[in-house]
Structures are given as C-alpha cells and as structure tokens.
Amino acid sequence: MVACRLLLASAMLLLSVPARASRPHDAIALSYLPSSATAAGCPAASFLREEVEKRLGYDLFEPGATPRLTVTIDRFDSDYRVTGELRSDEGDVTLTSTFTEGECGVAVRSLAVAVAIRFTHVPSTCLLPAAPAPAPARATLATAPASTAPRPVTLPEPPRVQMGIASMVSIGSAPVVVGGAAWFVGARWARFSGALEGRALLASATDILGPRVRDGYHFLVVGVAASACVHPGWAFACAQLGWGSLSTRNSAVDIDPDRVTHVGFGFRFGGERALTRTIALRAYVDTLFELSPGNLRTRTTGAPVVWHKPAFSGAMGLGPVITF
C-alpha cells in the first residue's frame, strides 16, 4: 500500500504520463479574457489549451460544454497576474487559482497545470504486480533509477525599446532658471533599464544680479548623459554620468570665456503611470554634481566675474514615454 500511495502522488505532481483511453473524458468551456494592457505580452488561448492537453492526453475544452473556465489576465506592477475560475453546471465555483509571474507565459502554464490536476482521475485501487520468484543466492539484481522528466527551460523576456521626450526646467545650470526639452532612447527590461539622453535648455534676454551690465543675457545649456535605472514598481531610481555646456551671449558685454563645459554625475528619482499598453507618463527630479564648475568672466581689467557656477544643480521633467 505504501508503494501504491507513492505512485499516485508522483502521477498527481508530475503529470508526465498522458491519460489512457479508458479514463473518462471531461469537457468544459473556456473564456480567455486578457486585458488590453497584456494582449501583446501574453500567449493566445490556444497556448493554455495545448498545455492542458499535454498533461491530460485529450482536448478538455469544448465550446458547447456547460462547466466554464474563465481566465482573466491583467498587470500587477510590472508582473502578469493570471486568474482562473471554474464554475460547475449549477454556477458553483469549484476551482480558483491565481499566478503572478514576470513572464505571462509562465503564469499561464502554471494555471494549465492546476486545471490538469483538477481533471486527473485516479483509479480507486492500485494493482501491483505479483512478487517475482526469489532469485538465486549468487545473483544480483540492479534496479535502474527512475528518470525524472526535465523541467521546461524558461527563456527571459528580451529587452524592449523605450524612448521619450519631456519638458524640463533647471536651476543652478545657468545664472537664471532655464527651460526647454529633454529626450532619451534606451532598452527596458522588467525591472531594469538603460538609456542615452540629451537636453537643450535656454533663457533669452534675461536680467541677472551682480555685474555692471545686468540685462540682455542669452543662455543656452546643452548636455548628454548615460543612465542606468531600477524599476521596483511604478517608481524608479537612476544613476547618471554626463557632459554639459553653458553658452552665454550679451551684445553689451565681452564675456570670455563665453562657454563653460563640465563633467558630472547625479541621480534621478521619479515615477511612471501607464496610460495605454505602450504609452506612460513620466515625472522625475534630477540632482547633478559637477566635477569642474567654472566661472563666467568679462575681458575687462581684473576680469570681473559675471557668475560663479555652483557645483550642484537640479532639474525637473515631465513627459510621455513609449515602450515597444
């Protein structure tokens, strides 16, 4: 009896042996309802149907059957959540299973295993073969170890292309607040991303405090950076390394140098909210530490300083992000 119970438990857990022809065939209907946010990243209903058939040995799903399995798929943060609910002829819920995975196909396959277990019929008695005749005293019997079916190899999802544009304002990168546009293109995994980005910010015909000539200044800030980010959920955090340049012009002042460049590193903190399956709205705050801040000076005697560039600057951005 102990051997019988072990055989039954192995059949229920592994489901590696198809059902025999004498085993009764059940039939249920299938409603497969992926949300619009998961349609592109999830397999079709035929994938679930085939995974169940591999384990039962026959096609369980028939359109005209009265019991019905309803499968819903939606997003849970950056993962896929697959829920299956089986109702009987009388409308009673006889099975409810929910699986959350980073890959949609893995979650659907887990639901298929649960459904196959539900409809696997085990015989009420276990007939063991008669004990063999005792072997001669000098004979040695060797029993081959039972083979275990290899687990299916799950390949990680390939990275997706991500690009975006944002409106940005910056404080500390010029003598006044400058504003303009920022853009990026990169690769996105489930919880990580990397990108190359640029920005162009300007302020025209502005006044500044300090120098003898205070008005008529034009500032242009441009920069490029590389960033690496982590995405634990809707929020994200990034580390950045970049190069920037501040250009200054004033028809009444001879500024030398009229361009100051710098190399710096910083951090970004922000969040994203999905608007559609491919478009999200991103807001973030940047902090930048410049390794070589410079000063804007004039050519006059003594080279008076127009502006001392601080080592720290900050920026805020808001704009759409497209992932495909």
- Is residue 137 one of the residues assigned to a domain? no
Range of the domain at 178: 160-323
pLDDT at 268: 97
Rounded Cα distance between 217 and 210, Å, is 13
- Is residue 201 one of the residues assigned to a domain? yes
pLDDT at 299: 61
Domain boundary among 97, 118, 139: 118
Q: What is the pLDDT of residues 119-149, one digit of tens each?
A: 887 666 555 555 666 666 565 555 556 656 6
173/279 same-domain check: yes
Quote the number of domains for the chain.
Answer: 2
- pLDDT average, residue stretch 28-46: 83
pLDDT at 275: 92
Q: What's the mean pLDDT when you consider all of the chain?
A: 81
pLDDT at 249: 82
Distances 213 to 251, 297, 305 between C-alpha atoms, Å? 10, 12, 12
Whether the pTM exceeds 0.85: the reply is no
199/300 same-domain check: yes
- Is residue 141 one of the residues assigned to a domain? no
176/109 same-domain check: no
- Is residue 238 one of the residues assigned to a domain? yes
Least confident of 80-89, 119-128, 180-189, 238-247: 119-128
Contact 32, 38 (CB under 8 A): no
Least confident of 75-79, 169-173, 187-191: 75-79
189/311 same-domain check: yes
298/173 same-domain check: yes
- Is residue 242 one of the residues assigned to a domain? yes
- Is residue 269 one of the residues assigned to a domain? yes
- Is residue 140 one of the residues assigned to a domain? no
The label of the residue with tokens 């009764």 reads 24
- Is residue 218 one of the residues assigned to a domain? yes
What is the CATH number for 31? Answer: 3.30.160
pLDDT at 1: 46
DSSP string, 173-208: SSSS-EEEEEEEEEEE-SSEEEEEEEEEEEEEEE--
Check pLDDT > 70 for residue 198.
yes
23/82 same-domain check: yes
pLDDT at 110: 92
Single-letter code of the amino acid located at 171: I
Torsion of CA 278, 281, 283, 284, to 10 degrees: 10
Domain boundary among 99, 118, 137: 118
The label of the residue with tokens 């019988």 reads 4
180/110 same-domain check: no
292/173 same-domain check: yes
Check pLDDT > 60 for residue 60.
yes
Q: Which of 30-34, 176-180, 210-214, 294-298 has the highest mean pLDDT?
A: 176-180
pLDDT at 19: 42
Contact 266, 220 (CB under 8 A): no
- pLDDT average, residue stretch 104-122: 88
What is the pLDDT confidence band of residue 184, given thresholds at 50, 70 and 90? very high
What is the pLDDT confidence band of residue 232, given thresholds at 50, 70 and 90? very high
- Rounded to 10 deg, the angle between the 104-118 and 45-56 helix axes is 40
